[in-house]
Structure 1
Amino acid sequence: MNKNRLVALLTPIFLSSTIGLAQKVQKDSQTTVDPRDGQSYPIVQLGGLYWFAANLNFETQGSDCYEDDLIKCGDWGRLYPLEEIHTACPEGWRLPSTEDWDILKEIIEENGVQALYKPDHWKNNEEASNSSGLSLVPSGFKHKRKFQLQYINSTIWFNENTNQGSHWHFHTDGNNNADPFYFHTHDGEVFVRKFAIRCVCENAYLPE
């Protein structure tokens, strides 16, 4: 077989075998790169999982920047509709599950919700410590055609449907109330809302 033809045939195989590893990173790295658009994300290990320490900013057909401002996408990530959330994360990463919620719940119970908040982003909140490294930001959400509560609210998609046909998500208003964190559904209302995404995976690193 012609050598050039052999190379041409093998190249797609090589590329397909490495695509799944492209977003993996070298040991001790604190960032990962989305191979689809080259954007870099900080990562943090919490409870045996690796989490994006920033909101996903991969452009999909139905995603929005807050108030349609591209600059805000860079700072706060995008807001995604329900129908796109299962394909939004890079290959090898996924939405957090309801079981993964227990990781965040434990952090809140032991250190307070301020341990999840990125400092200098929350309105009327000067106690954000981000001791967890998750760097949660108040990116707001979109309800129908209206953007709401940036600087005050953070809402993140989780991946299980409920019996009512809704979807789990958590949100926080950033205040210091006794129970500022909520993990719940909005029944049918969830289909007209867009929230942020944090991707997770069990192993973010390449084999040594």
Structure 2
Amino acid sequence: MNYKIFIKLSLIALAVIAFACQKDEAAPDLNPDAGPSYIDIENDGYFVTLGATPAPEGQTGTWRIYNGENGHFDDVNNPKTNFYGEPGEKYIIGWELSHGKKYEASLIDVSFKKMNPVIMAYPGDTIFNNRSLWLESEKPQFGATGLWEIVDGDGGRIENAETNRGEFIGLENEKYTLRWSLIYGSKKESVEFTFVTDTLVAFAGNDELDIITSGETKYYTLDAFLPAGATAKWQLLDGKPGKIHIEDNAKSLFEGVADTTYTLKWTVDLEGEVVTDTVDLRFRGKWGVYTDTRDNQTYRFSTFNLGQKGNEYTLEWMAENFNYAFDPGVGSVYYGFADRSVIKTGHAVETDEDRKAYGRLYSFEAAIYAAPEGWRLPTILEYEDMLVALGGPIHADEKIKMDGESGLDLNYPGYFQRYSGQDPYLRNVFDLQDINGYWWTSSAGDNGLVNCYSVMSEGDLPGQVIINQSYSMAVRYVREVTQ
């Protein structure tokens, strides 16, 4: 070989080796850092702001998705870019650094919370007294939308189906399954419930016969139910003066006066099907009203502040004679109705109006046990305290009788005596109706005699009589007012 040629080839080979060594020594290290992972994120738009370390000069940084669907970046080359995903999806993403053909990646996890549709109240297995249903769920959040759907059941529809407060209207006695869904991107999470409809029944609210408010003009917020998809209207049937402020509002303000019983009608129209209900209202003025839940009879009562300074107390005193059928025919009777009996004065109490006015006559034992819960017979001392509070017997006489200013409205129901000595045959005797009134107290002595209080249509002032237990008398219960 020519020596000069050999030298030249050797120099070329050395140059190639030197260049290759120089290139290897110049290749940078790739140390990508993708930053922290983000787990169970929940926010508007379902995104996170990533925190990778920027690529060194001469290197290129790129974000890539390795696992997970429907995610994207604002800028794949920005280490602090926003990454967007979908609820319920788990992503593995990487921050890649590259130089020439060489690259390295750092991986992080990003996950977003699954949507959780929540219905505020389920109707149970059956919608009682209705064939429509107000639908309510938690409002969609974080950019999701909502949708009500009928999954199963014929003849139904949903109004405002794309809001969290929809209205379902169906047929009566039909089984339905409804679904509430949250939707975001490609994700849809749902919850379902099944129920059976009932017939449509109007509800005007519960009777309120003792509404306590201040001021001469009385106000009460009505409490009817408006079925979903229906229209309705109030009407004043009985009681003046009275005013319904907004006739088509189930929660309208009602305006009235004290001691007047009002009857209001609530008419509901659902797709041409019309049903009605009524409610009775009364504002307390001179009287309160108590309802005995055993038979739903009502009794007016007056309130008295009694006792001396330092020993004051307040009693509610029934302003009508009691009329509960306790041990009827034995423990309690109506005037004129008893075996082997005669009526010396007055008339038999037969009509509903008379029976409400006179009430029943009770044996002493029955008078004790017939009391509704919370009520009791007064003591004779409490009766005397009441007379004192009203100015003494002389001044109290007219105040405690019918139409008197106290509101007690004592009348003259008479009495009943078994095996009476007034009758030559010792028959049972009814006497003094519309002449005298007698009422039991709880003040009984060891000898079996009982103190009763009385009023008379003429003659003597109100006071007390002491009688044996062969009599049956009227009853007015009292109860303590708790502060």
Query: Structure 2 length normalisation: TM-score?
Result: 0.33
Equivalent position to 2:335, from 66, 72, 84 = 66
Matched with 1:16 is none
Do 1:174 and 1:180's aligned partners in 2 also have CA atoms closer than 8 Å? no
CA distance in 2, matches of 1:44, 1:182: 19
- Write the deviation string for residues 122-164 of structure 1: whole angstroms up to 9, x where unpaired: xxxxxxxx11110001011111211101111000000021132
Matched with 1:93 is 375
Matched with 2:292 is 34
**Pair 1:117–1:108, CA change in 2 (3 A):** farther
Matched with 1:54 is 320
Correspondences of 1:154-193 after superposition (within 5 Å): 154-175=437-458, 177=459, 179-186=460-467, 190-193=468-471
Do 1:52 and 1:198's aligned partners in 2 also have CA atoms closer than 8 Å? yes
Deviates more, 1:164-173 or 1:99-108: 99-108
CA distance in 1, matches of 2:391, 2:452: 16
**Matching residue's letter, 1:63:** S
Deviation at 1:41, TM superposition (A): 0.7
**Matching residue's letter, 1:41:** Y
**1:143 maps to 2:417:** yes
Equivalent position to 1:196, from 446, 467, 474 = 474
CA distance in 2, matches of 1:64, 1:108: 35
Do 1:143 and 1:194's aligned partners in 2 also have CA atoms closer than 8 Å? yes
| Structure 1: gaps (5+ residues) | 5-23, 120-129
Count of residues paired in the alignment: 168
**Matching residue's letter, 2:316:** Y
State the SS of the aligned residue for 1:104: helix
Deviation at 1:70, TM superposition (A): 3.6
Do 1:171 and 1:181's aligned partners in 2 also have CA atoms closer than 8 Å? yes
CA distance in 2, matches of 1:173, 1:108: 18
Deviation at 1:193, TM superposition (A): 0.6
Deviation at 1:46, TM superposition (A): 1.3
Matched with 1:43 is 301
Deviation at 1:201, TM superposition (A): 0.4
Deviation at 1:105, TM superposition (A): 2.2
State the SS of the aligned residue for 1:164: coil
CA distance in 2, matches of 1:54, 1:36: 17
Matched with 1:105 is 387
CA distance in 2, matches of 1:56, 1:77: 5
Name the % identity: 26
CA distance in 2, matches of 1:40, 1:132: 19
State the SS of the aligned residue for 1:67: coil
Matched with 1:9 is none
Higher strand share: 2
Per chain length, whose mean CA-contact separation is higher, i.e. which structure has more relative contact order (CA < 8 Å, sep 6+)? 1
Deviation at 1:166, TM superposition (A): 1.1
CA distance in 1, matches of 2:480, 2:432: 32
CA distance in 1, matches of 2:332, 2:474: 9
State the SS of the aligned residue for 1:66: coil
Do 1:46 and 1:103's aligned partners in 2 also have CA atoms closer than 8 Å? no
Do 2:455 and 2:461's aligned partners in 1 also have CA atoms closer than 8 Å? yes
- Write the deviation string for residues 89-128 of structure 1: whole angstroms up to 9, x where unpaired: 2100110012212233212617230111104xxxxxxxxx
CA distance in 1, matches of 2:412, 2:383: 18
CA distance in 1, matches of 2:476, 2:350: 19
Deviation at 1:26, TM superposition (A): 5.1
Matched with 1:117 is 401
CA distance in 2, matches of 1:86, 1:112: 27
What RMSD over aligned residues (CA atoms) do the two structures have, in Å?
A: 2.2
